[in-house]
Structure 1
Amino acid sequence: MKIRSLNRNIIALGANSFFTDFSTEMILPLLPIFLERFLHASKSEIGLIEGTAELGVALLIALSGFYSDRLGKRKGLTLLGYGLSNLIKPLAFFAQSATMIAAIRIGDRLSKGIRVAPRDALISASTPKAISGFVFGFHKMMDGAGALAGALTAFGVLWYLGESESSFRTVFAISLIPGLISMAILIFLVTDTPFEPSKSRFVPKALPAPFYWLVLFQSLFSLVAMNYSFMLLKAESNGLALVMIPLAYALYNLTQSLFAIPIGRLADRIGKGVLLSAVYIAFGLGALAMTLGTSWAIWVGFGIYGFFAAGFNALAKAIISDSAPMEFKATAYGIYYTAVGIATFISLVLGGIIWDSYGSTLLFMIASVAAITLGMVLYFMRYRLLHTD
């Protein structure tokens, strides 16, 4: 399967994601350090901010997906979500307190809550089941490539201007440019895929059993795993120079971009459940590497984390694309993201408390053991649970 076989909508949505992630990932790898070093936030406060931001997504995303299915249209909500996000993020330039950063993060995540379910349904509407892994892998690859460009841009600015607070704020301001480009692509190059909404009300049994097993496993995993913010803070605590942290984050995004399409292609051939169990185990190994407390282990950990990120949501979205009926597809994506978002909120809040109370090693060991265990359970139960394979 080659890129040129993808239709215009898939390619345009991929380009839109590239520039949105270009903008986003100039900011995200710097925010935990900015909060800790210049705004003097604790690990618990950072975990609470990130967790609340993810909860904001969870509270809105199911509603957005349901509303999209009732409208019979996708592009309007997608455009609204991307527009708000790309205008809100650069406001970090003006932030003078952790509370202001929290407001910006929550606003950005609420915007994501508006756009994600209808966008994924828009992608799914143009995707044959036989290549769903490849298509969502392509989309994840474009995410990763944009994130790589953003992280490298942030590194370049900090390397050139130094590690001062004003340098951080300069990065936040520059992030507006790729955000505006992504909006232009969405407005002028993406076309809607209208459909006839279902006249019946949504009931849980409208979605098949494999969908609910997927939600259960992904939620359990999200409950025990930490997100990128703790990875970045761990890199700093292990002695990695501040200016090098965006470069480590760039390695994560490079790995994510390189593996996204191969994981999707392989999943289409041998089964999405097999690959999903593999990325669980990969995360566990990456978290284990981070416990070693050396700078080289940070690079290994970020590289493995990129492999994990290439498959985690992309494979889940492909499974939902294969199994959910068209008239309830955005609703299915909304339910999925809501469950994972709530689990992530709990994970981040508890993770910050564990770090402040017992140190980072225990936190990363818990994540490692739990992720590897879940990966093995999913592998041996995959045919019974995810029988879309």
Structure 2
Amino acid sequence: MYLADSRNSTTSSTAAPGSTRPGRRPAVPGTVLALGAVSLITDVSAEMITAVLPLYVVTALGLSPLGFGLLDGINNGVGALVRLAGGHLADGGGRRHKVVAGIGYGLSAVCKPLLLLARGLPAISAVLAADRAGKGLRTAPRDAMISLATRPEHRGRAFGVHRAMDTAGALLGPLVAFAVLRVAVDGYDAVFTVSACVAALGVLVLVLFVPSRPGTATPATATGTGTGTASAPPAPRPALRDSLALLRRPALRRLTLCAALLGLTTVSDAFLYLLLQRRLGVPAGLFPLLPLGTSAAFLLLAVPLGALADRIGRRRLFLAGHAALLPAYALVLSPLRGPATVVTVLALHGAFYAATDGVLAAATAGAVPAAHLGAGQALVGTGQALARFVCSLAFGAAWSFWDGRAALAVAAVALAAAALVAARLLRTTDTPDTGRTDRDDPHNTPQGAPR
């Protein structure tokens, strides 16, 4: 913490007056790269557990697949709800964003070695719930720090870089777990131990290299001068009612509604991979590689699509990302078979994430004032996460009553309808949202930005 703070203050104090011009400042600040490194390391740790956990609880602990499904669903719900608390607690300036994010990362790191002790269903449920709570706590403050450190017109690219680094960790995690299982005698225990060490490294990088007070970046004026990147003085933490009142802002309300509406019609990754395996004849031995295909496409496209969002508008690209799922669903439903079809579906699936994940966070940052960035990110993210959880339950029930093909066809039709409604709500014919907020609500202008 102290190393990061001293470095940040030294840089601020020695900056030349002309360094505030857009051409002399990087589009992706060092704070974003440091947070990306933290996310990369943490995702290696998390995905090591994710890669082996289903097999571990079903074979080693004797839990039924249905029991694991309910366990995973409950824990995802816990993470989504805790995200609201994390966003609210982090707002108010000062070091709160880093402190709350650090607590979240630290809680998840502590949970990894506890898996070595958890044997029964209640114990492992408690550990996984605490791990998801840690993820929920850190997500909104982390995205708020990225928003504060980056100029509004470059936020799409910054979030794209962060998500690309995060996805690199998601690619490496299963590979590290596979390697540990191959060489270790006590396979699962060794994976949990290595995962705990990697998670602790992520917390250390956060403490040492992420500034506690990321500068609030503001765009330059038309004459070429600007306020630059300056740390805002600490402010009292907003009251809970103030955070919830953000939904009264038209821009944020429409964005939250659209994220939830589209989330209700987005088939979960696990179901899509299972449909790929069954309908396109993917060998069972290759099934674990399907998520890596999505992650690889996400990694390659996150930065260019983030930069594209800064140029054409983040809301537009967010809708286009969901539209990319429609041909993916169509290919799964079609009679086409073979590796080319599988690769195309995974590429479209990765493009969907690259065009929506970080882009939604960047769009949210432009819809709320700087003092409420954490709460705003939490509201939109929680709405989307809960909607996707409901979609998973509904899709599973539809698959049980009908079949996977019929359930996917209904989901595709619902997604197309939801995209049309979302396009109207977000008013995609408006001026691209490259750092500006909804023009209907002048109070949505970020602090320091020109109206």
TM-score band by shorter chain is 0.7 to 0.9
Report the equivalent of 1:265: 307
Aligned runs of 1:299-378 on 2, under 5 Å?
299-378=343-422
Give yes or no for contact 2:246–2:252 (8 Å, CA) kept in 1: no
- The yes-or-no answer on 1:279 pairing with 2:316 is no
Q: Using the TM superposition, give the Cα deviation of residue 39 of structure 1 relative to its aligned residue in structure 2, in angstroms.
A: 5.6
Alignment coverage as a number of residue pairs: 386
CA, structure 1 residues 266+328, in 2 after alignment: closer, same or farther (shift >3 Å)?
Answer: same
CA deviation map 1:191-222 (0-9, x unaligned): 11263236776162576312111111111122
Give yes or no for contact 1:51–1:346 (8 Å, CA) kept in 2: no
Please state whether the residue corresponding to 2:267 is helix, strand or coil.
coil
CA deviation map 1:1-60 (0-9, x unaligned): 999653221111010011111111223244445555666666654443332122112221
CA distance in 2, matches of 1:232, 1:225: 13
Question: Which one of 225, 242, 253 corresponds to residue 266 of structure 2?
Answer: 225
How large is the RMSD of aligned CA atoms in angstroms? 3.3
Report the equivalent of 2:88: 66
CA, structure 1 residues 228+161, in 2 after alignment: closer, same or farther (shift >3 Å)?
Answer: farther
- The yes-or-no answer on 1:27 pairing with 2:68 is no
CA distance in 1, matches of 2:176, 2:191: 8
Report the equivalent of 2:171: 148
Aligned runs of 1:180-219 on 2, under 5 Å?
180-193=200-213, 195-197=234-236, 202=242, 204=245, 208-219=249-260
CA distance in 2, matches of 1:285, 1:100: 42
Report the equivalent of 1:249: 291
Q: Using the TM superposition, give the Cα deviation of residue 378 of structure 1 relative to its aligned residue in structure 2, in angstroms.
A: 3.3
TM-score by length of 2: 0.75
Give yes or no for contact 2:29–2:150 (8 Å, CA) kept in 1: no
Letter in 1 for 2:328: G
Q: Using the TM superposition, give the Cα deviation of residue 334 of structure 1 relative to its aligned residue in structure 2, in angstroms.
A: 1.6
CA deviation map 1:247-268 (0-9, x unaligned): 2222211111111111111111
Give yes or no for contact 1:58–1:338 (8 Å, CA) kept in 2: yes
TM-score by length of 1: 0.86
Q: Which moved more, 1:286-295 or 1:50-59?
A: 286-295
Report the equivalent of 1:130: 153
CA distance in 1, matches of 2:347, 2:60: 28
Q: Identify which of structures 1 and 2 has the higher relative contact order when contacts are C-alpha pairs closer than 8 Å and 6+ apart.
A: 1
CA deviation map 1:315-371 (0-9, x unaligned): 111011112101111111121122123222322333333334433323333333322
CA distance in 2, matches of 1:367, 1:318: 27
CA, structure 1 residues 287+173, in 2 after alignment: closer, same or farther (shift >3 Å)?
Answer: farther
Q: Using the TM superposition, give the Cα deviation of residue 232 of structure 1 relative to its aligned residue in structure 2, in angstroms.
A: 4.3
Report the equivalent of 1:53: 75
Q: Which moved more, 1:237-246 or 1:324-333?
A: 237-246
Letter in 2 for 1:321: A
Letter in 2 for 1:368: A
* Higher-helix-fraction structure: 1
CA, structure 1 residues 79+112, in 2 after alignment: closer, same or farther (shift >3 Å)?
Answer: same
Could you say which structure has the larger radius of gyration? 2
CA distance in 1, matches of 2:194, 2:284: 20
Letter in 2 for 1:317: A
Please state whether the residue corresponding to 1:28 is helix, strand or coil.
helix
Question: Which one of 79, 82, 87 corresponds to residue 105 of structure 2?
Answer: 82
CA, structure 1 residues 101+350, in 2 after alignment: closer, same or farther (shift >3 Å)?
Answer: farther
CA, structure 1 residues 94+43, in 2 after alignment: closer, same or farther (shift >3 Å)?
Answer: same
